[in-house]
Amino acid sequence: MKDCIQQLVELFGNNDYSAGTRKKVQRWLADEEHVDEKDKALRMLWKQAGEQEVPNGMQQSIRQMQQNIGLKPVSHKNYQLFVWRAAAIFLLAVSSVSVYLMLEKDRPVKDLVECYIPTAEIHELTLPDGTHVMLNSKSTLLYPEQFNGKTRSVYLIGEANFKVKPDKKHPFIVKANDYQVTALGTEFNVNAYPESNELIATLLEGSVRVEFNNLISNVILKPNEQLIYNKHTKEHNLQLPEIDDVTAWQRGELVFSNMHLEDIFTSLERKFPYAFVYSLHSMKKNTYSFRFQNQASLEEIMSIISQVVGDVDYVIKGNKCYVTNKK
C-alpha cells in the first residue's frame, strides 16, 4: 500500500485531470485512511516544489482552500500536519507542483488571487500594478492582492497576453512550471497549457528574458521573436512567427499551424464546450494548417477539417464530438 500511495500521489501531481477527478483525489488525500503514507507522499511532492517548509504567508490561502474543498477543521496540535497536507493539495489542485515558484522567498507572501477562465471564454483584467492581461480560455492566473516585493511575480497555467506597466525597479515575472519570462515594460504572449509538451513565449514589443530548463538556461528575446521550449526533451528553438497568428486568439480567431489532429482537437475543446472522442491509433500523424475566423461554429470547422483530411468523419451529439475513420 505504501508504494501504491506514493505512485498515486506522484502520478496525480504531475498530470492534468478533470475537475471531477481532482475533487475525488483531493477528498481521498484529506480523509484519515492510511494517513501516514499519504503525508509522507505529500511531503515528498512538496519537496519537489523546491521547499521543505510551508511559506509563512500561505496560511490564509490554505484556510480559504479548506473551505473550498471541504477539509475538516483541525486542532492546534494537528495544525502543522494540516498545513502540510493542505499545501500539497493546493499544488495538486492547480495541476502543477511548481506553483511554489510563484512565491517570493525574500518576504511573507500576500494572499493569492486566482482568476480562472472557463471554456469558450476570454477575459481581460488589470493587475494591482496596472499591468493589463488578456487570458485565453481554460487558463488560470495566480497573482498577489498587492505587489510589495522586489519583483512583480504571477503564475500562469494556460495562455495570456501581458501589457506590462513599466517599473524598472520591480521587474515583472510570469512563471509557468520551470519556465519564466521577465520584463520591465513590454508586451508579450505566453502559452503554457499543462497538456502541451511546449512552453512558448512571443515578444511583441520591448525586451524580455526567457528562462527555462529549471531556470538554468536563458535567452533575451527581441521584438517579433518566439522561444519554444519542450518540457520533456528540454530542447528549445528560436523563431520568427507570424505575430498576427500568435495574437489571433485575442480576436476570437483560431489558427492552427502544422499541428497534429489530436492537438487541434485539444485546442477546439478550449474554444467550444464539447469533448472530443476519438482513437489516437486511428489518427494520421500528418500535420495540418487551418485558419478560422471569429464566430465560426464547431460544425463549420469540423466540416472543413474532415474535407481537408479526407478520411475522417465526425458526429456532434450532445456535448461530444465523435471523430471516426470514414468507412
Q: Does an H or E element contain 317, and which? A: strand 312-317
Ranges 7-16, 49-58, 112-121, 273-282: which has the least confidence: 49-58
Residues 229-249: what's their mean pLDDT? Answer: 93
* Domains in the chain, CATH or no CATH each: 2-93 (no CATH), 102-245 (2.60.120.1440), 252-325 (3.55.50.30)
HSE-CB at 136 with a 13 A cutoff on CA atoms is 27
**pLDDT of 182 over the 90 cut:** yes
* Structure confidence at residue 35 (pLDDT): 56
Task: Give the DSSP letter string of 156-211.
Answer: EEEEEEEEPPP-TTS-EEEEETTEEEEESS-EEEEEE-TTSSEEEEEEEES-EEEE
* Structure confidence at residue 42 (pLDDT): 53
Residues 75-101: what's their mean pLDDT? Answer: 45
**pLDDT of 178 over the 90 cut:** no
Q: Are 146 and 262 in contact (CB under 8 A)?
A: no
DSSP-derived 3-state class of residue 49: coil
Alpha helical stretches, state H, the chain: 2-13, 19-30, 35-48, 59-69, 79-93, 243-246, 261-271, 298-309
The pLDDT confidence band at residue 19, using thresholds 50, 70 and 90, is low
Q: What is the DSSP letter of 114?
A: E
The pLDDT confidence band at residue 165, using thresholds 50, 70 and 90, is very high
Residue 254 grid cell: 483560431
Q: Are 219 and 199 in contact (CB under 8 A)?
A: no
